[in-house]
Chains A and B, each alone.
Chain A
Amino acid sequence: MSSREADATTGAARDADLADAGGTTDTVRRPRAAASGTLRLLGNELATLFTRWRTWAMLGALALIPILIGIAIRIAGGSSAGRGPAFLDQITGNGLFVGIAAMTVAIPLFLPLTIGVTAGDAIAGEASHGTLRYLLIAPAGRIRLLVVKYLAAAAFCLAGTLTVVVLGTLVGWLLFPIGPVTLLSGDEIPVGEGLLRFLAVAAYVAVSLLGLSAIGLFLSTLTTVPIGAMAATSILAVVSQIVGAIPQLEALHPWLFTDRWLDFADLLRSPPVWDSFAANALLQGAYVLVFGTLAITRFVTRDVLS
């Protein structure tokens, strides 16, 4: 009995300590959760993502596309108009188009593959390492963790598309003559404005990938095997594009998240057609909403057994 009384008094003493906010507690723990905490977690997540060897390997693979295109055309000469990927024939005339041509090549498979890896790994990867349980008992908060993971995946989308466009433009600059940019409508704009348009293209494609990222995040909450979620995400991107290429399924096309993936060309008209940017953002937003909700619904009730 006496030992239990002693316990009770220590308990009371501790509570009193906590109540008058002893100095030590104050420096390590804030009484109320602050929004800055979420920003720091996001910062930490981004730092973690971008210190990973794998992330740089994927960005390196994306960078190889414009490099290969640039070198190949430099050595073998330009292709005639209408053959090969769009914009390829423009490169010999204006090196700045290497980035845009590389983007056209990267969109159908390479970019979705890297997004599949990043988004599919988001939760499943933590689960497979067992770190998910330690993040959750930290406690990270399940919804907060999902949001941070999604924002990191979105940051990777932007990093990926910027890699292709920026590196492509640089490669073109080095290997080919450059000059005012001839738009699809035939008008010419100065180099500076052309570069801005190219950055807008990178942003457009990054936005295009947000829907796929949300799908990947959702799939990632379903399994503790990251490779499964990665493969499923990438395969869905391919399937969606195949459906998009079948005319008989035209009724479905406006609903496909890949439907406007190649419409970035509208940004290269004069004046730029922002309608497709808005329509694409809306489409992707709908996917983010649906799959984000699914991911949250699934994740907040899931038993973490890994």
Chain B
Amino acid sequence: MSGRAGTVVDDAVADDAADLAIRTRGLTKRFRSQVAVDGLDLAVPRGAVYGFLGPNGSGKTTTIRMLLGLVRATAGEAEVLGSPMPRAIDAVLPRVGALVEGPAFSPYLTGAQNLRRFDAADRHSIGSTRDTRVAEALERVGLSHAAAKKAHAYSLGMKQRLGLANALLMPRDLLVLDEPTNGLDPQGTREVRALIRSFAADGTTVFVSSHLLAEVEQLCTHVGVMSAGRLVAQGTLEELRRSGGRARVRVRTPDAPAARRVLAGLGIEVESGSAASDLEVVVGTLPDDEEAPEAIVAALVAERVRVRGFAVERASLEQRFVELTGEGFDVVA
């Protein structure tokens, strides 16, 4: 399994490491006896929206902490925006906005005061624009009206939004978001998705961990899957789906025999037909070097097959995820 992930990564990495926003080699973290992250080789291309998936306790947050220099790796190395972490922490982190394991604030300060505090902590930030930037960031996450409210009075979703605002205080080259939509209402979730898209459109690399596969499917260009501390798959969304076995084609047609012939001619393994009927469904499994769906339809139509329904189906990301990380509900610890 990891072998397959490996090939995908190596192909992508081989030509130019400078194209990577995040790159780790053999990154490992051991807590006493337990290995939380085990020999991680991440490769996040610049400009990608990278979905970092994995069941609870699989090591996502621990990895993010190592990338941000909060936790020291037991072994291996990490490069963020082309510089080694944690050695280049002062140069790298001003260009990185992050949400790590949920937002956190001083409860006795207001939302705006909390943001000002984090901004003041960055010695590269410029004080004279601070208030404007804080106001803009609050506006962007829809919290302008709650700016003067004490953080302890914020709801879960409001805190999450404030945490996002903190990541947006400056233009960033990389956003690292650990479950950014946790606790958000549907509007908030959509808003965050739109935000992430707009950053990606600006060229910002987004590294986002999530459990919500539907969300990842909508949002991400690349995916990495963790299981019990190991990276079990990595690549573009398409590569990951494709690696889950071949696609199947279904054709609904009254001309089943002709359809079978055409499909077989395209190298598709046609399943032996069921009982003949007016609207027969022909099912086949596509070969690895599959034809584009529209080419298959064109071939059918060229042979005067009356196509009344057509679909190319792939394993969903969820099926792939479960295949990769196992069915079990129990946390592997």
Chain A interface residues (CB < 8 Å from chain B): 3-4, 6-8, 10-11, 13-14, 24-25, 27-34, 36-38, 40-41, 43-44, 48, 51-53, 129-131, 133-141, 144-145, 301, 303-305
With an 8 A cutoff between CB atoms, is B141 at the interface?
A: no
Among B47, B93, B121, point to the contact of A145 (Cβ < 8 A): B121
CB distance from A231 to the nearest CB of B (A): 21
Q: Hey, which chain B residues are within 8 Å of A144, CB to CB?
A: 123
Task: Among B19, B48, B107, B133, find the residue whose CB has the most chain A CB atoms closer than 10 A.
Answer: B19
With an 8 A cutoff between CB atoms, is B310 at the interface?
A: no
Q: Is B12 a contact partner of A303 (Cβ separation < 8 A)? A: no
Q: Is B65 a contact partner of A304 (Cβ separation < 8 A)? A: yes
Majority SS at the chain B contact face: loop
In the complex with contacts A4-B45, A14-B203, A33-B124, A137-B70 CB distance below 8 A: yes
Q: Is B123 a contact partner of A141 (Cβ separation < 8 A)? A: yes
In the complex with contacts A29-B125, A33-B124, A40-B127, A134-B203 CB distance below 8 A: no
In the complex with contacts A131-B106, A135-B121, A140-B121, A305-B65 CB distance below 8 A: yes
State in angstroms the CA–CA spacing of A191 and B102 once bound together: 58
Q: Hey, which chain B residues are within 8 Å of A40, CB to CB?
A: 120, 127
Q: Is A137 a contact partner of B117 (Cβ separation < 8 A)? A: no
Q: Is A10 a contact partner of B70 (Cβ separation < 8 A)? A: no
Within 8 A of A (CB), among B113-150: 113-114, 116-127, 129, 133
Q: Is A44 a contact partner of B120 (Cβ separation < 8 A)? A: yes
Q: Hey, which chain A residues are within 8 Å of B124, CB to CB?
A: 29-33, 37
Residue pairs across A and B with Cβ atoms less than 8 A apart, 11 shown, are A11-B46, A27-B126, A29-B170, A33-B90, A37-B123, A51-B109, A133-B68, A134-B118, A137-B68, A303-B72, A305-B65
With an 8 A cutoff between CB atoms, is B9 at the interface?
A: no
Q: Is A129 a contact partner of B126 (Cβ separation < 8 A)? A: no
CB distance from B103 to the nearest CB of A (A): 8
With an 8 A cutoff between CB atoms, is B104 at the interface?
A: yes
6 shortest A-B CB distances, which residue pairs? A130-B104, A37-B123, A138-B121, A140-B121, A7-B47, A139-B93
With an 8 A cutoff between CB atoms, is B171 at the interface?
A: yes
Q: Is B90 a contact partner of A139 (Cβ separation < 8 A)? A: yes
Q: Is B166 a contact partner of A134 (Cβ separation < 8 A)? A: yes
Interface residue tally of chain B, by bracket?
35 or more
11 additional A-B pairs beyond A137-B70, A140-B122, beta carbons within 8 Å, are: A11-B19, A11-B203, A43-B120, A44-B117, A130-B101, A135-B118, A139-B89, A141-B90, A145-B121, A303-B65, A305-B65
Q: Is A28 a contact partner of B171 (Cβ separation < 8 A)? A: yes
Q: Hey, which chain B residues are within 8 Å of A48, CB to CB?
A: 106, 109, 113, 117
State in angstroms the CA–CA spacing of A6 and B221 once bound together: 13
Task: Among A29, A36, A138, find the residue whose CB has the most chain B CB atoms closer than 10 A.
Answer: A138
Closest to B169 in A: A28
Q: Hey, which chain A residues are within 8 Å of B116, CB to CB?
A: 44
CB distance from A37 to the nearest CB of B (A): 3
Closest to B204 in A: A14
With an 8 A cutoff between CB atoms, is B77 at the interface?
A: no
Q: Is A10 a contact partner of B203 (Cβ separation < 8 A)? A: yes
State in angstroms the CA–CA spacing of A156 and B12 once bound together: 55
State in angstroms the CA–CA spacing of A43 and B109 once bound together: 15
In the complex with contacts A7-B46, A7-B48, A304-B71, A138-B119 CB distance below 8 A: yes
Q: Hey, which chain A residues are within 8 Å of B71, CB to CB?
A: 303-305
With an 8 A cutoff between CB atoms, is B98 at the interface?
A: yes
State in angstroms the CA–CA spacing of A4 and B118 once bound together: 34
